[in-house]
Structures are given as C-alpha cells and as structure tokens.
C-alpha cells in the first residue's frame, strides 16, 4: 500500500508504506539512520523505475567546477588575493575601490575624482560608489580616497562566491525533511503568503514547474532589471529547499507550502559576485518586502559595505541567515560571522557534522546539508551537499515561525530556533553545531505557545 506521501518524480515513483515513511512515524524527531547505501535505503524506500531515461537528472561535478573557478581567480591578472592562512584565501578586483561617502558627491566632484584616478565611476547605490582606474592599483586608490575628508570608508571590491557544493549525487528520497520534524511542524503551520523569504544568490529558474506559483517579484542586480533568472543552478536549488511545491506529484517537496520566495540575482553564471552587488541585493530585498534573507555565499574577508547592508536589513527587523562555508576550517566566513546573522553549519543523515562544514565559535545552528535533493535549472533536479543547502532549511523555518507570529522580532525568531534544537547529547553551544540541529516541530510548538497560549492546540487546525 502506498502512503499519501509517495510522489512521482518524473520517470520515477517513490513508493513508501505507512510504517517505513519517515513522515508518518509520529515519534520521528531526529536525523535518520544511515541511508546513503542502497541496501539500507531499500529498507525504508522502494524506487520503481518507470522509464530508463533519466536525462532530467543533473549530475554535475560542482566541486571540480568551483575549484576551476578558484584557479581562474588565482591566475587572473585583474584579480588580487588575500591569504588568511595556508588554506583560506579571499579575492578582490584590482584597480577598483568601493567608496562610501558621508554625503553623496556632486556630479562635478565625481567627474573630478574620476579624472584624478585616471578612471571612471562604474556603479553606485545611495552613498556607496565603485570607482575603477585604468592605471592605479587598489592600494593606490585606497590611499587616494583616504585623503578625502568626505569619505566615510574605502575598501577593495571583494569577490564573493557561492558556497561551493561539496558533492553532487541524485537521490530519490528526502531524508532531510523528517530529520528536522518538518511534517509534524506542518501541524502548526504550513506557511503564509504574507511572509516572504528572499534568496540572494545566482537567481532562480523562473519557469521551473516545481516552483510554479511560489515566486515573488525579484530583481537582477547585475543587469539592473526584473529578470533574476538563474544561469548557474545554485540559487534554484536553494529556493527549492525552501519552497518546492508540496503535494503536487512533481519532483521534490519544500519545507514551506505557502511562503513566497523572492529571487535576487547577485552572482553570475560562475557563481561569482562582488561585495557591492551582494550588498545591493540585500538592500533591494530589505526595501521590497523580504521578511527573511538567505545568503548561501561567502568570503573570508569582511567587507564594510556588506556589513552596512546586513545592519540595514537587521534594523528593518529582517531575519538574516547565511551559510558557514565548506572548507572544513575555523576561519570565520562573511557574512555568516557578522553580528546578528544566523551562521548555519551542515550535518548529515546521522546528525553528524558534515566533514566539509566550517566550524568555530561563530556557528549558531546546524541543519541538513548532505545529499539534499531539490530543484535545478532548466526544470531539472539535483542532489547537492554544502552549508549552502543547510542555510535554506533555517530560512524556511524562520519563515514558518513568522507565519505563526508575523509580529515576532528577528531576535525572537532566532530564540525560537536555538531554544528548541536537537542536542543529541552534546553540550551547547558547540563549535561544530552551534546551539544544535534545528527541530521544526519543537520550534513551531514553542512559537505557537508563546503566541496563542490558550486554545492553540484546537485552533491551529482551522487555518494553514
């Protein structure tokens, strides 16, 4: 007998019986046992191949791709490196500088500065300007602008990368949802179309069938238009974890049923974006109705323009979530390590730290991040690993918490998540897990009790 959670995945059916379905076992509230090997997987799930053709499945060596991109950056004459230690590096665009003025300069002043640096203005946002020189290095540009008493700060134009995917392997099941009590959490809420989650990333596949009706109006920072279509795949995968249409007999299920995803494209087809672009994307999302912002990207060099954008969002009471990074290092990654940002580490199907996940005192919480199936570009699906995949689980939970109580402050949303984590016998806070692994059911139950202390258990079933 098939349970009601069995789903058709294009040419595959996932067939589950009632007992083996992780969703149906009411006492399931922690990461599953070992499932990646086929023998163990067959005990919990049967996959019936309806058709041998599986060209819709993306199998991409993302680790190789990201290493290739890093090599290109390392060898490019227009890119400079900062060595934090023997392993971790950051990059910035040479002959460019990001300048924040105390007050926006006049056009005459901008033209004068451009002439003096033998360059031009290439972009601006409010009082933040990017200048590019034909002949002066970034160091020389910083020295030049530092002499201007109208400059609040000047810094290199740092390069941010998508948090590289550690592995790619298609799996015909979603261990991650029952591992964090997703369906039991749906007894409290399945989300609200009044609570929007922004995905500031490579964009989102706007025509993906499993994201149909789930996308809010977005923005393309790179092209300065309203077409944030994804030409990389990373942002689409993140969006699917949050909001892939549930109960539609198509593909995968997202953590939320109703929360809109706002796609904001700040990185190009190679998963690269400048600090200015990321900051502009954050500000755009904050100004256009985002309640939660997901940032599955990072750099090991802090940026003032990025920090100011994060503070701008936090001051608007937005919950900001960021991936901790995938280099198995204690080197703080930004924006995850910035004050007020929820820094997310990754765990596997056993609740163990993913071997690639960054660690340290800056880690706030952990979530599933190994072999996570989700949507991909061109209507496809892929299973990816990384803290980039862990972060949207937390963003989705934040969206569900605010769906129960939209008036809850961003600091209170964080409290609901960190107070109800799965500790698995660990002493928290912990450098690998932060305050523990998220538990949707417990977090939403606590939120509901705080919001509706009387009659909540009955009334919660009357709405979404």
Beta strands 12-15; 7-9: pairing state: antiparallel
| Catalytic site includes residue 201 | yes
pLDDT at 376: 94
Angle at 61 between CA 383 and CA 377, to 5 degrees: 55
Residues 260 and 402 in one domain: yes
Q: How far is CA 44 from the centre of its chain?
A: 29
Instruction: In whole angstroms, give the CA distance from residue 78 to residue 142.
Output: 17
Q: Is residue 34 part of a domain?
A: no
Query: Is 237 a catalytic site residue?
Result: no
Q: CA-to-CA distance for 428 and 426, rounded, in angstroms?
A: 6
Together in a domain, 167 and 155: no
Torsions phi, psi of 347, nearest 5?
-125, 165
Domain-terminating residue out of 142, 160, 178 = 160
- Mark whether 115 and 195 lie in a shared domain: no
Set 303, 343, 385, 388: catalytic member: 388
Same domain, 114 and 219: no
Q: Write down the pTM of the prediction.
A: 0.80
314/191 same-domain check: yes
Out of 234, 237, 362, 393, which one is annotated catalytic? 234
Judge if 265 and 414 occupy the same domain. Answer: yes
For residue 125, give its domain range.
87-160
Determine which one of 94, 123, 201, 430 is catalytic: 201
Residues 127 and 195 in one domain: no
CB 97 within 8 A of CB 141: yes
Q: What is the pLDDT along the chain (464 residues), one digit of tens a residue?
A: 233 333 333 322 222 222 223 333 333 344 433 333 433 332 332 222 212 233 333 434 444 455 556 666 666 666 766 666 656 667 888 899 999 999 999 999 999 999 999 999 999 999 999 999 999 999 999 999 999 999 999 999 988 777 554 433 334 468 899 999 999 999 999 999 999 999 999 999 999 999 999 999 999 999 999 999 999 999 999 999 999 998 887 789 999 999 999 999 999 999 999 999 999 999 999 999 999 999 999 999 889 999 999 999 999 999 999 999 999 999 999 999 999 999 999 999 989 999 999 999 999 999 999 989 999 999 999 889 999 999 999 999 999 999 999 999 999 999 999 999 998 667 778 999 999 999 999 999 999 999 876 544 434 443 45
Q: What are the structure tokens assigned to 332, written together? A: 């703080």
Q: 87-91 long-range contacts, Cβ below 8 Å, gap at least 24? A: 87/327, 87/329, 87/331, 88/300, 88/327, 88/329, 88/331, 89/300, 90/158, 90/159, 90/299, 90/300, 90/301, 91/158, 91/159, 91/299
CATH of the domain at 453: 3.40.50.200
């Amino acid at each position: 007998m098939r349970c009601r959670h069995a789903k058709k995945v294009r040419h595959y059916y996932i067939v589950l019986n009632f007992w083996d379905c992780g969703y149906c076992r009411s006492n399931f509230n922690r990461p599953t046992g070992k499932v990646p090997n086929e023998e163990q997987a067959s005990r919990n799930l049967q996959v019936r191949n309806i058709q041998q053709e599986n060209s819709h499945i993306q199998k991409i060596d993302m680790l190789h791709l990201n290493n290739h991109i890093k090599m290109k950056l390392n060898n490019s004459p227009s890119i400079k490196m900062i060595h934090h230690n023997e392993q971790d590096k950051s990059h910035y665009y040479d002959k460019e500088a990001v300048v924040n003025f105390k007050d926006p300069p006049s056009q005459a002043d901008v033209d004068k500065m451009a002439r003096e640096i033998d360059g031009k203005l290439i972009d601006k946002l409010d009082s933040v300007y990017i200048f590019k020189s034909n002949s002066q290095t970034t160091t020389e540009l910083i020295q030049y602008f530092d002499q201007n008493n109208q400059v609040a700060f000047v810094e290199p134009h740092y390069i941010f990368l998508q948090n590289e995917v550690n592995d790619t392997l298609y799996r015909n099941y979603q261990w991650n949802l029952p591992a964090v009590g997703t369906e039991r959490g749906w007894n409290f809420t399945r989300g609200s179309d009044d609570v929007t989650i922004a995905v500031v990333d490579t964009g989102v596949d706007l025509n993906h069938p499993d994201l149909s009706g789930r996308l809010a109006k977005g923005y393309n920072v790179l092209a300065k238009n309203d077409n944030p279509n994804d030409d990389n795949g990373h942002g689409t995968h993140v969006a699917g974890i949050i909001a892939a249409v549930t109960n539609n007999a198509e593909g995968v299920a997202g953590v939320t049923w109703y929360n809109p995803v706002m796609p904001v494209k700040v990185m190009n087809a190679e998963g690269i974006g400048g600090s200015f672009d990321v900051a502009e994307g954050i500000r755009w999302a904050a100004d256009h109705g985002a309640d939660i912002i997901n940032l599955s990207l990072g750099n090991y060099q802090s940026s003032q323009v990025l920090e100011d954008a994060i503070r701008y969002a936090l001051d608007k009471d937005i919950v900001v979530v960021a991936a901790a990074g995938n280099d198995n290092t204690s080197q703080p990654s930004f924006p995850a390590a910035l004050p007020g940002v929820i820094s997310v580490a990754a765990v596997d199907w056993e609740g163990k730290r993913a071997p690639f996940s960054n660690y340290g005192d800056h880690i706030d919480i952990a979530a599933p991040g190994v072999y996570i199936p989700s949507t991909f570009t061109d209507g496809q699906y892929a299973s990816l690993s990384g803290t980039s995949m862990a972060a949207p689980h937390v963003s989705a939970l934040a969206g569900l918490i605010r769906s129960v109580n939209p008036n809850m402050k961003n600091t209170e949303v964080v409290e609901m998540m960190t107070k109800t984590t799965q500790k698995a016998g660990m002493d928290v806070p912990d450098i690998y897990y932060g305050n523990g692994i998220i538990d949707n059911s417990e977090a939403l139950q606590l939120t509901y009790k705080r919001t509706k202390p009387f009659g909540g258990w009955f009334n919660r079933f009357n709405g979404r």
